[in-house]
Structure 1
Amino acid sequence: MVGLAVVPHTARADPTANDYPTEARVDYVLACMAVNGQGRDVMSHCACSIDTIASIIPYDRYEQAQTILSMRQGVGQNTMVFKSVKSFDDIVASVRRAQAEADVLCFR
């Protein structure tokens, strides 16, 4: 039987990189695979992508961006605030930059 090495918490490069819930990571990978195709290689690229994003931005920022993007798809007066507030654009832009870096690193 092969044992697993236990890495002390202090040895990790970025302890916040693992603050993404499993469900969020799975949702990302499934959506990524829906766009990029099915298969083990695509799954590996998509998993790399969310891991890279998690190493760049904290989960709360990622979650805020996902909420903003979801609300922007709606119609009506209640969604207008999500389409017009400049600070929301900055949050979404930070996630898009992280996704672009992940694309470069993971989808070569």
Structure 2
Amino acid sequence: MLDYRIHTFLKVCETLNYTLAAKQLHITQPAVSQHIHYLEQEYETTLFVYSNKQLSLTRSGEILRKYLMTMQNDEKNIKKEIKSHEGMIETLSIGVTMTIGEYAIDNMK
């Protein structure tokens, strides 16, 4: 499961606006700022820059976005594949009489 800060980062990449990302994620704008700041500290780089009052990704941010999008897609595929196999699981129940059950089941431990 991907960290919630990754989801925040990807939403900011999509919107290029901290306030709009916060609104769409149903969190506060300061929380978005904290999530991005955490990731910048974790990866020791700047992910976004403001230029002419416009937010844009840095080269490091673009690289991180590329790999996190891949991870997000992999996570979705994993969940999809697991769900498709859930209906295929079968259970086996064995019933035995007390005489054979005491001997056979006890020796299986």
Q: TM-score band, normalised by the shorter chain? A: under 0.3
Say which structure is richer in strand. Answer: 2
Q: State the TM-score, normalized to the length of structure 2.
A: 0.25
Greater radius of gyration (CA)? 2
Q: State the TM-score, normalized to the length of structure 1.
A: 0.25
* Structure with larger RCO (C-alpha < 8 A, sep 6+): 1
Say which structure is richer in helix. Answer: 1
